[in-house]
Amino acid sequence: MFDNLSTRLEGIVKKIRGKGRLTEADVDEVMKEIRTALLEADVNVAVVRSICNRIRETAIGATRSSALDPAQQVVKSVNDELTRALGGETLSITYASKPPTVVLMAGLQGSGKTTNSAKLAAWFKGQGRQPLLVGADLQRPAAVEQLRTLGRQIDVPVFSDPSDPVRASAAGLEEAKRLGRDVVIVDTAGRLSIDAEMMEQVRQISAAVDPDFTFLVIDAMTGQDAVQTAEAFHATLKIDAVIMSKMDGDARGGAALSVKEVIGVPIAFASTGEKLTEFEQFHPDRMAGRILGMGDMLTLIEQAERAFEADQAEQAAAKLMEGQFTLDDFLDQMQQIKKMGSLGSLMGMMPGVPKELKGAKIDDDDLKPIEAIIRAMTPDERAQPVIINGSRRQRIANGSGTQVGDVNRLVKQFGEMQKMMKKFGMAGQKPGKKGKKGKRSGGPKGRGLPPGLLDPNAGQGIDLPGLPGMPNMPGIPGMSNR
């Protein structure tokens, strides 16, 4: 998400970079572009206006000062505004002193309440809690059935009562107490914010369960209506935070920004894929960095930490640095990576990934042939791909159901990667400490990525002046002519 916005901002910055001074005409043009960029990202009209006014002031200031590169100032100002608009801090979840902690899920039809209820339950489980899901959506045919299926997948019990949503919710709370579950998530029916009767019903549910948190689920693809909807729900329910669903699509996210700005509640979670684990806490500052095309390293690291077996990964990383990484290790790590989420979403978080690559749609299924090829190799071949000659290639291709050319390419790429990693390994030894520190204090400007990643020979990935140069995604020969 947010890709269009960051692409556009990059274009704007390109236009003004290198100018020693900005004229008023430059500012007008920049502001027009920023406005269009925000509107195309579905940021609410009123929010666009106020953000633009503030950025304009900075930009006008930049016309007078010659101390800093004006482009830098504009980028900084856009970045500051976006961060501010997205909200400062991550919502911290506190638990009721007298369990269970009750969470109420509300939203329009099709926003993703049921799926996100289950994802949230899985998240709570990951935090060491024992959630209970309560199906109070008796409106949509088979909604409770859907919740039960999801509950089975994450091994969380589901309670429902077909008689009445308010009664089902209240009974669900009692059930949780009886079972000793310490978190209750109530999935309600989708409803229109202008449907008085249905809004009254959800108010009654809320009154019956007295939630500690009321989450509004909003589809990241929502347009201008996001604000109206959020306002209406907020007026009825007092929303504590928003869950943005379907954030794995392209180009959207303006709704997120607008809702925060207009009703003042934070975005607590973001759903980033179809898998039930693709759900994470929302970090506004990281998101602003992502908007500006800086990737989202902290999230990536967290996901990696969650997915990897620490010892094993450390070993593998060491091997990698020393250039002793084998195809077997690769295969192992590939399995770990898969646990982190889909390749596409990982790509989105990496800084400096060329646009062509982000545009190249990558699915996990695409990995299957790679896996098949490696599995068709003997242990010796995996350890030392150089020994793979013509007849071995043919055998591997036959064994994996691929073409000899595919095998060739894989072996060649692997060689490239080994070479590259060796180089990184050496570059990474020296200034290692600084990189870590910089990243932690990171914030959206996140200066100083792990230096091991910076290949001195790689071209600049993105043209953002004033921001740390990100390397091109290294080791992908053939990408440049795409």
Interface residue with another protein among 20, 98, 128, 141 (CB under 8 A) is 141
CB of 410 to another protein, least distance (A): 5
**How many residues comprise the chain?**
482
List the 213-219 sheet strands across, edge first. 158-160, 131-136, 183-188, 101-107, 213-219, 241-245, 267-271, 279-281
Stretch that binds another protein, among 70-78, 122-130, 278-286, 406-414 (CB under 8 A): 406-414
CB of 86 to another protein, least distance (A): 17
Interface residue with another protein among 69, 212, 250, 328 (CB under 8 A) is 250
Q: Which is nearest to 159 in space by CA: 127, 141, 184?
A: 184
Helical axes 367-375 vs 390-400, angle rounded to 10°? 120
Do the Cβ atoms of 450 and 435 come closer than 8 Å?
yes
Q: Which is nearest to 474 in space by CA: 423, 426, 400, 439?
A: 423
CB of 65 to another protein, least distance (A): 31
Nearest residue (CB) to another protein, 111 versus 214: 111
Stretch that binds another protein, among 69-77, 154-162, 448-456, 461-469 (CB under 8 A): 448-456
Stretch that binds another protein, among 158-166, 259-267, 314-322, 388-396 (CB under 8 A): 314-322
Stretch that binds another protein, among 66-74, 158-166, 201-209, 300-308 (CB under 8 A): 300-308
Position 281 contacts another protein (CB under 8 A): no
CB of 292 to another protein, least distance (A): 19
Stretch that binds another protein, among 13-21, 167-175, 279-287, 445-453 (CB under 8 A): 445-453
Q: Which is nearest to 102 in space by CA: 193, 205, 7?
A: 205
Position 422 contacts another protein (CB under 8 A): no
Position 385 contacts another protein (CB under 8 A): no
Interface residue with another protein among 33, 275, 413, 458 (CB under 8 A) is 413
Nearest residue (CB) to another protein, 41 versus 51: 41
Stretch that binds another protein, among 278-286, 316-324, 392-400, 460-468 (CB under 8 A): 316-324
Query: What is the C-alpha R_g of the chain?
Result: 25
Position 427 contacts another protein (CB under 8 A): no
Interface residue with another protein among 122, 242, 255, 287 (CB under 8 A) is 255
Could you check whether the bond before residue 385 is cis, i.e. omega within 30 degrees of 0? no
3-state secondary structure of 59: helix
Distance CA 385, CA 469 (A): 34
Stretch that binds another protein, among 7-15, 74-82, 235-243, 418-426 (CB under 8 A): 418-426
Interface residue with another protein among 260, 308, 392, 467 (CB under 8 A) is 308
Interface residue with another protein among 9, 27, 41, 104 (CB under 8 A) is 41
User: Which residues have a Cβ under 8 Å from the Cβ of 384 and sit 6 or more positions away?
Assistant: 326
Site string for another protein, 166-205 (x = CB under 8 A): --------------------------xxx-----------
Burial 359-373 (b: 16+ CB within 10 A, else e): eeeeeeeeeebbebb
Distance CA 373, CA 449 (A): 34
CB of 232 to another protein, least distance (A): 7
The sign one gets for the Cα dihedral 431, 433, 436, 440 is: negative
CB of 101 to another protein, least distance (A): 25
Nearest residue (CB) to another protein, 66 versus 429: 429
Stretch that binds another protein, among 52-60, 161-169, 278-286, 317-325 (CB under 8 A): 317-325
Position 116 contacts another protein (CB under 8 A): no
Residue-by-residue DSSP string for 265-308 = PPEEEEE-SSSTT-EEE--HHHHHHHHTT---HHHHHHHHHHHS
Q: How many residues bind another protein (CB under 8 A)?
A: 103
Distance CA 211, CA 101 (A): 7
Distance CA 29, CA 15 (A): 10
DSSP 471: B
Nearest residue (CB) to another protein, 68 versus 301: 301
